[in-house]
Chain A
């Protein structure tokens, strides 16, 4: 069975500072990896995904993530955050050939002026 651990429940950061949101997963088979973002009062939307190939994945709004198979990690990064990046971020995993996506508990990113 797959599982996802997001190591930080909350991350406060000042505007224009870099940020890293950590995610570790476990699975006995090959997986796809995702980061979703949930802004207040909105549905989840996809930031980026890793399917195969290059381990560095670029997504929307300047975010990127790096897949590290040996460390079973998929950390999300942004070099300079904005106030508008304040949201809940969810790491997720699904088995290749499967159908369901398993989500982590989420990390609340709070960007301060």
Chain B
């Protein structure tokens, strides 16, 4: 397995456009997380899936943000009507087990809203 992969690695979009990012976790991992990282900050938790169930989404930044994980495999994060403040690195991570297990991170998708 090649680890967690994210696509695209970079995305430049105009303000007001919608964007969608994809994350492919390590195949046997049942837990999948989305984080956002801005310059000079650590990753900020956004949402979490256990298999296909989204068990926590209260930290999604607004109703413009939504995430899915159909069939408990890959996941998508969509941002509608992007704003300049959405510019950040969006990280995906997966793990097998609970809060005591290692999370494996992808390299992230860097979003720039112009």
Do A99 and B31 touch (CB < 8 A)? yes
Q: State the CA gap A62–B59 with chains docked (Å).
A: 35
Do B42 and A106 touch (CB < 8 A)? yes
Q: State the CA gap A94–B48 with chains docked (Å).
A: 14
In whole Å, how far is B16's beta carbon from the nearest beta carbon of chain A? 30
In whole Å, how far is A112's beta carbon from the nearest beta carbon of chain B? 21
Assuming the contacts A43-B4, A106-B41, A106-B42, asked whether A99 and B108 have C-beta atoms less than 8 A apart, the reply is no
Do B43 and A103 touch (CB < 8 A)? yes
Indicate if A20 sits at the interface (CB-CB under 8 A): no
- Residue among A6, A32, A46, A100 with most chain B CB within 10 A: A100
Indicate if B60 sits at the interface (CB-CB under 8 A): no
Q: State the CA gap A51–B48 with chains docked (Å).
A: 21
Q: State the CA gap A51–B107 with chains docked (Å).
A: 26
Assuming the contacts A99-B31, A99-B98, A101-B99, asked whether A45 and B105 have C-beta atoms less than 8 A apart, the reply is yes
In whole Å, how far is A2's beta carbon from the nearest beta carbon of chain B? 11
Indicate if B25 sits at the interface (CB-CB under 8 A): no
Do A99 and B48 touch (CB < 8 A)? yes
Q: State the CA gap A103–B102 with chains docked (Å).
A: 14
Please give, as numbers and ranges, the residues of chain A lying within 8 Å of B4 by CB-CB distance. Answer: 43
Indicate if B45 sits at the interface (CB-CB under 8 A): yes
Do A49 and B102 touch (CB < 8 A)? yes
Q: State the CA gap A43–B43 with chains docked (Å).
A: 11
Indicate if B103 sits at the interface (CB-CB under 8 A): yes
Q: Which residues of B contact A (CB under 8 A)?
A: 3-4, 31, 33, 35, 40-45, 48, 50, 55-56, 59, 91, 93, 98-100, 102-108
Given contacts A34-B102, A43-B107, A99-B31, list 7 more A-B pairs with CB under 8 A: A6-B42, A42-B107, A43-B4, A44-B43, A44-B93, A90-B43, A101-B45
Q: Which residues of A contact B (CB under 8 A)?
A: 4, 6, 9, 32, 34, 36, 41-46, 49, 51, 90, 92, 94-106
